[in-house]
Amino acid sequence: MEVKNDWVELNVALPGLSESELKAMINFECSTKKRKSFIKRMHQRYSKLHNERECKELMEGGLL
């Protein structure tokens, strides 16, 4: 995992990250630099991916 130093790096990287990679980045950010704006943006992206995956699983007959 590579630490993102500014908004440009973060926003370039976000579309290519998986749910698990984002989770690791969020946890790292929360325990180190604690930049609230970075945490919020990463969590927004994580939530979108999580919700899309969960909805797809439900539409395929899965359960919550």
The token duo for 40 is: 């919020």
What is the pTM assigned to this prediction?
A: 0.90
pLDDT 10s per residue in the chain (64 long)? 777 889 999 999 999 999 999 999 999 999 999 999 999 999 999 999 999 999 999 999 999 8
What's the rounded Cα separation, in Å, for the pair 30 and 46? 14
In single-letter form, the type of residue at position 16 comes to G
Residue 64 lies in a domain: no
Instruction: Provide the domain count of the chain.
Output: 1
Structural domain harbouring 21: 7-59
Q: Which DSSP category does 19 fall into?
A: H
Residue 2 lies in a domain: no
Residue 20 lies in a domain: yes
Residue 1 lies in a domain: no
